[in-house]
Structure 1
Amino acid sequence: MAMNEDGCVTAAVAAGMTPAVALFRSLADETRLRIVQRLAVGEARVVDLTGELGLAQSTVSKHLACLRDCGLVDYRVEGRQSFYVLTRPELLDLLAAAEGVLAATGAAVALCPAYGSADSAVEAMTR
Structure 2
Amino acid sequence: MQTIDEQIEVYTKFFHGLSNPTRYRIILSLLDGPKNVGELTEDIGCSQSLISMQLQCLRWCNYVKALRDGKNVYYSISDERVLALVQLGQSIADGNTDKICTCEILKNEKYVENKEG
TM-score class, shorter = 0.7 to 0.9
Q: CA deviation at 1:19?
A: 2.6
**1:116 partner SS:** helix
Q: CA deviation at 1:16?
A: 7.9
* Counterpart mapping for 1:12-27 below 5 A: 18-27=9-18
Q: CA deviation at 1:47?
A: 0.6
Q: CA deviation at 1:100?
A: 1.9
Q: Distance in 2 between matches of 1:71 and 1:52?
A: 22
Corresponding residue number in structure 1 for 2:37? 46
Q: CA deviation at 1:54?
A: 1.0
Q: Distance in 1 between matches of 2:90 and 2:38?
A: 28
Structure 2: gaps (5+ residues) = 1-5, 109-117
Corresponding residue number in structure 2 for 1:67? 58
Q: Distance in 2 between matches of 1:69 and 1:92?
A: 18
After superposition, the C-alpha distances for 1:22-51 in whole angstroms (9 at most, x for unaligned) are 111100011111100111110000011111
Contact 1:109 1:116 in 2 (8 A): no
Counting aligned pairs with the same residue, the percent is 25
The structure with the largest helix share of the pair is 2
Q: Structure 1 residue runs of 4+, over 4 Å off?
A: none
Q: CA deviation at 1:116?
A: 3.4
Q: CA deviation at 1:77?
A: 0.8
**1:108 partner SS:** helix
Higher RCO (Cα < 8 Å, 6 or more apart): 2
Aligned partner letter, 2:20: D
Corresponding residue number in structure 2 for 1:125? none
Q: Distance in 2 between matches of 1:55 and 1:30?
A: 11
